[in-house]
Amino acid sequence: MNKIKVLIVDDSALIRSVLAEIINSQPDMEALGAAPDPLVAREMIRNLNPDVLTLDVEMPKMDGLDFLERLMRLRPMPVVMVSTLTESGSEITLRALELGAVDFVSKPKLDIVSGMKDYTQEITDKIRVAAKARIRQRLPQSVAPKLNADAVLPALANRVASTEKLIIIGASTGGTEAIKDVLVQLPPDCPGILITQHMPEAFTKSFAARLDSLSRISVKEAAHGERVLPGHAYVAPGHSHLLLKRSGANYITELSQAPPVNRHRPAVDVLFRSAANYAGKNAVGIILTGMGKDGAAGMLEMKQAGAWNIAQDEKSCVVFGMPKEAIAHGGVDEILPLHEIPRRVMAHLGTLGSRAVRV
């Protein structure tokens, strides 16, 4: 069996040592070496040709993000970021995912040695996923200003026929960029959107704020008991499941701290089941790139309740796990490349014409 070759890049000698110990404890991977900064790492990448890179953010001589941007432009390869769970750290980590990192691992704030070892399963699982991920260069994407004419006075032709229609999205590994690519193409008066992305609590608020700055719709971290409005997207907070409920004629959000489902909280299956229960045929379900099977059972329930469901295709996924499982369960109506999903959703809902969807 060929082992996954990992290069560690971190300015902390302690972190380098602990990560090397964790990686070398696995039968299917090995630490080729460790670099204290990107300049040393650059030479080691040339000489050792690793399969996966673990990369710190704050380092001497060159910032981790600058190095990642250059790496993805000149020699794209799987990268797992090592980040701290702070507000500033979450912003940086989201930027790293935008630049092409596959995933991130959170550094503990206290007792680093035992804390990192507690994350052994998470760290090694993410390295395994990264080793199989499809890495491609990301082209710059222009985004129209949020406050344009459509946002102030939406076009009247083919307006949303019913405010009860909803878009329900689930994603995991690679999902932060996939969700962004979907949302930035949607018109400002599209149906309300509920999103579950597997992500720690410290990151979801920053993630929602970033999506809000890029999209023509409004995006926020979901709160408990708020009305779901057209032109708005609600991201599940990292500490709770996000559910759809009804209050009279209105859809509302509900947050639950019930136990994890499929090892996740928030879980996609929980959101999808609630959409099946309360939205039925008024919903369009979308399952995007991600590791595991979360969402497969719930998407089938949505289809059985009358929803129209779309799965991201294998070629455009970073990890074709969750969409593959949803397809195998029989809950998917269409399989599409990521860039085609927004247009198809709007066409199915019969809302704005194709000219209103940005390309």
Tokens of 201: 């609590």
| Structure-token match 């900064």, residue found | 37
Confirm if 281 and 309 have CB atoms less than 8 A apart. Answer: no
Q: How far is CA 7 from CA 10, 115, 127, 130, in A?
A: 10, 21, 11, 13
Calpha distance 119→112 (Å, rounded)? 11
Confirm if 168 and 222 have CB atoms less than 8 A apart. Answer: no
Residues known to be catalytic: 172, 198, 294
Dihedral sign (CA 127, 128, 131, 137):
negative
Q: What are phi and psi of 283, to 5 degrees?
A: -105, 150
Q: Which of 312, 66, 67 is nearest to 53 (CA)?
A: 67
Cα torsion 143, 145, 147, 148 to 10°: value is -90
Please report, in angstroms and rounded to a whole number, the separation of the first and last CA atoms in the chain: 44
Which strands, in side-by-side order, build the sheet including 192-197?
218-221, 232-235, 192-197, 166-171, 283-287, 308-312, 334-336
Peptide bond between residue 266 and the one before it cis (omega within 30 degrees of 0): yes
Cα torsion 23, 26, 27, 29 to 10°: value is -30
